[in-house]
Structure 1
Amino acid sequence: MKKEWNVVEVLRQSRHDWLNKIQLIKGNLVLNKLERVKEIIEEIIIEMQHEAKLTNLNAFAFAELLMTYNWQARRFRLEYEVLGDVCDLSSYDEELADWCRQFFYVLEENADGNGDNYLSISIEVKENVRFFFDYSGTITNVSSLEQWLRNHMDGTAIFVEMFEIHNEEMTIVLKINM
């Protein structure tokens, strides 16, 4: 699942993403849809603020995973946001990145490849750090996901606090014991 990105590939993909955003703005300007242009620019600003907060968590393997996930063909689209102040998660970085890689793999295996599937991750930084995973899309094998999540409910610093799964949606709360 993990692809090693070299600097040129990262710059190429980043340039591609930015060109898509600029073309979207340019197309709406041509159509004189100025309100939509303002919305797109505001969305970009918010996305960049969340990216900055994500990198400021000092969990670089985790940040790389989230920031590059959509660069390859996947069964679901990933988006994320960071809520609250930032903190230093460097000591949890590898475990958090590994947990997410494994979870994404299991989710990919159980997501319907023909549907519109989305996973939104909200990272809430307060006195504790919690990760809220909200999935919308078709799940082909609910029991497989349930079993995987049950196996990750205790035992480490990072654990599943609660989850709820249905055929077309799922919510998971992941917590770091700090």
Structure 2
Amino acid sequence: MKELIEVINHQRHDWLNHIQVLLSYLKLGKYDMCEEYIHRIIAGANRDTLVSRLEYPPVVAYLLSFNALHSNMRIEVEIPASFSLLKLKEGNWLGDFIVSLVKLYQQHALYNGGESNTFLLTLHYQESALRIVADFAGELDVKGIEAGLNELCARMRACGGEALLMPHTASESVLECVFPFA
């Protein structure tokens, strides 16, 4: 219940910030900036809608509440085309894998000198496969995350997936996973 209250407070705070920015643009007569800002708000709401359409409650709740509950890493989710995990035979397993992947990076994200660590999660669904790309930028405990990444990749391979590991450094990590559908 405490987490729910934190998420609601975070959402309320974000919306108040949006309204204050819009009000400032209106007072300054910067209508073009106001319109641009409204489009950014709409784009963010559309991204949240695509996350909601994944329809697997543990993933949806985790991804939509993540930024409100974690301060060491900011997440952005890109889903080029809407799809439901629940309509996939492996949907629950894929959903749990996604949450495990994000948690692994969050647990090994280090203090970044006041800058925010960023994690871009891309979920690209095609009829034949789901491609998951994790792109971390910031400060990362590379040695600490290595064992967890190896374990996740082993789980993925056991379920027919394949991993393309990109270079992992203390400031950047990219992992691409492809899960073909039977």
Task: Determine which of 28, 31, 35 is the counterpart of 1:34.
Answer: 31
- Work out whether 1:138 is the aligned partner of 2:139: yes
- Work out whether 1:111 is the aligned partner of 2:114: no
Pairing 1:61-80 to 2, within 5 Å after superposition: 61-80=58-77
TM-score (norm 2): 0.79
Contact 1:149 1:160 in 2 (8 A): no
Note the alpha carbon deviations across 1:4-54, whole angstroms, 9 max, x for none: 744x66544433322221122222333333333222211111111121122
Q: Which amino acid aligns with 2:175?
A: I
Contact 1:75 1:117 in 2 (8 A): yes
Give aligned-pair identity as a percent.
21
Q: Which amino acid aligns with 2:35?
A: K
- Work out whether 1:150 is the aligned partner of 2:150: yes
Aligned partner of residue 80 in structure 2, secondary structure: strand
Aligned partner of residue 118 in structure 1, secondary structure: strand
| Distance in 1 (alpha carbons) for counterparts of 2:2 and 2:130 | 28
Structure 1: 5+ residue stretches without partners: none
Q: Alpha carbon RMSD of aligned pairs, Å?
A: 2.6
Q: Which residue of 2 aligns with 1:122?
A: 122
Aligned partner of residue 151 in structure 1, secondary structure: helix
Aligned partner of residue 45 in structure 1, secondary structure: helix
Question: How far apart are residue 89 of structure 1 and its match?
Answer: 0.6
Aligned partner of residue 174 in structure 1, secondary structure: strand
Q: Summarize the Cα distance change of 1:13–1:110 in structure 2 as closer, same or farther, 3 Å threshold.
A: closer
Structure 2: 5+ residue stretches without partners: none
Question: How far apart are residue 83 of structure 1 and its match?
Answer: 0.4
Note the alpha carbon deviations across 1:55-113, whole angstroms, 9 max, x for none: 122222111111100112421111112102x2221255543444344333432332221
Q: Which amino acid aligns with 2:104?
A: V
Q: Which residue of 1 aligns with 2:173?
A: 170
- Work out whether 1:87 is the aligned partner of 2:90: no
TM-score (norm 1): 0.80
Q: Which amino acid aligns with 1:129?
A: L
Runs of 4+ in 1 over 6 A off after TM superposition: none
Contact 1:65 1:97 in 2 (8 A): no
Q: Count the aligned residue pairs.
A: 172
